[in-house]
Structure 1
Amino acid sequence: MKNLLVFILLSLPLLLEAQSGNTKPVKLPKPNKVWVFLLAGQSNMAGRGIVEAQDALTDPRIFSINSKGEVILAKEPLHFYEPSRVGLDCGLSFGKTLLKGVPKKVSILLLPTAVGGSSMRQWLGDSTYREVKLWSNFLEKVAIGKKYGQIKGILWHQGESDANERSIPPGQTH
């Protein structure tokens, strides 16, 4: 327990720095050299894991955006829609793994849109959930992605909000 407390106290400055938006805006390479991936879904994609020091290390070829929509070097936590619940997600590790197999001239832009606890029905209906209009926000990030590069994929991690009988519309089956 003592080690966990020490770990949390040492990690706190990293979390506070990431939340405060102190990461400086940067300039991206030309759009034909930027692969864009949208990160969507709920809590596991939005990030709930403990952010460790190595998670805050940046790579000069992996970018994201801050809450103001400015392009920054990507570091965890990527998502910023739930400031009191930020944490480690799978986006940056995906980007780092992908870089190992793409041409050296390619950079990656990760665009966060996930909001913890949101259901598929809320996304499709463009509901406002935790002060985020889900589908509209996603489309805004698609527009940002098209501006800065080529959209290559969507990483969607959905879970518990759609994993029970109550979430299935009447008359439908699994």
Structure 2
Amino acid sequence: MFELLLVLLAIGFHLTSSSAQVKEIKLAQPSNIFILAGQSNMAGRGGVSGGVWDGNVPPECQSNLSILRLSANLTWEEAKEPLHKDIDVNKTNGVGPGMSFANSVLRRDPSLGRIGLVPCAIGGTKISQWERGTFLYNQLINRANVAVEGGGIIIAMLWYQGESDTINKKDALSYKKNLETFLTNVRADLRFPSLPIIQVALASGEGLFIDIVRQAQLGIKLPNVRCVDAKGLQLQKDDLHLTTESQVKLGQMLAGAFFEF
């Protein structure tokens, strides 16, 4: 009886140790890190209608033990949709481009190892709310710095923002200068002057000046900055947010642009 008890205890210890090892694998420091920033279409509204997310996660956006996310409390955890659930807290989040991007990147280059995603996007924000010294800017820089504390490196930032700057013509006309300043400041404050940045040209907008903002985005000539054009991707009934299928496609487009660096 005593021998049987020892065997059971040994089995229990083995199972507990194995479980702890699995958890450690999930939460280990990622090697290569991507920042996800901007407004609602980066945060993800795919599958959201009437303030409710339908819970549909396409195969391209499924979780993967090799993809982690930096949570709001600055700890690494397994990444899963919605990626911005605890970041863009005043809105309902659904599918964005992040998981599709990460899965696509790993399929194309498994040698990248464990990937870390740093969600920073907040819906409804104008470029002026991302100026150096603002809450959103400081939060991005802080989260990015925490993300590399364990030894990983930031290898790119994905940026999708501008819908809110299509309402006022003055905002639209100053968008190019403001975006260039923002991207330059981020690189300076992360001490990575050549940081690869992939920005998205708008598929939609909240105002009449979409074309002005799009021209600004397509006209950015900073080194190591690429632009993926979302125009033509399917929108939801609100004519503002990308559908789940479009978010999947956008993530794949962003991955393609990443491998062009």
TM-score by length of 2: 0.49
What is the DSSP-based 3-state SS (H/G/I as helix, E as strand, rest coil) of the residue aligned with 2:27?
coil
Measure how far apart 1:162 and its partner are.
Answer: 1.9
Q: Distance in 2 between matches of 1:124 and 1:39?
A: 16
1: CA distance, partners of 2:36 / 2:69: 11
In 2, Cα distance between the equivalents of 1:125 and 1:151?
Answer: 19
- C-alpha change, 1:119 and 1:143, in structure 2 (3 Å) is same
What residue number does 1:11 align with?
none
Bigger radius of gyration: 2
**1:105 to 1:155, Cα distance in 2 relative to 1, 3 A:** closer
Gaps of 5+ in 2: 1-22, 48-54, 178-211, 217-261
Length, aligned pairs only? 142
Where in structure 1 are there 5+ consecutive unaligned residues? 1-23, 128-132
Partner SS state of residue 48, structure 1: coil
Match of 1:97 among 96, 100, 104: 104
1:166 deviates by 3.8
2:62 — aligned with what? 57
Q: Conserved in 1, the CA contact under 8 Å of 2:46 and 2:94?
A: yes
CA drift of 1:105 comes to 5.9
- Distance apart, 1:81 and its partner CA: 2.4
Taking CA–CA contacts closer than 8 Å with sequence separation of 6 or more, which of the two structures ends up with the larger relative contact order?
A: 1
State the identity as a percent: 32
Q: Does 1:88 align with 2:91?
A: no
Give the alignment partner of residue 156 of structure 2, picking from 153, 157, 161: 153
Q: What is the letter of the counterpart of residue 121 of structure 2?
A: A
The runs of at least 4 aligned residues of structure 1 exceeding 3 Å deviation read 53-57
d(CA) in 1 for partners of 2:124 and 2:37?
A: 12
| Equivalent residue runs for 1:32-51 within 5 Å | 34-50=31-47, 51=55
Please give the per-residue CA displacement for 1:4-34, whole angstroms capped at 9, x wherever unaligned: xxxxxxxxxxxxxxxxxxxx884225x6xx1
Q: 1:44 to 1:126 in 2, by over 3 A?
A: farther
Matched, 1:118 2:125: yes
Letter matched to residue 161 of structure 1 = S
Task: State the distance in 1 between where 2:73 and 2:144 align.
Answer: 15
Counterparts of 1:146 and 1:125 in 2: how far apart (Å)? Answer: 21
Rounded Cα–Cα distance in structure 2 between residues aligned with 1:65 and 1:125: 22
Q: Which amino acid aligns with 2:109?
A: V
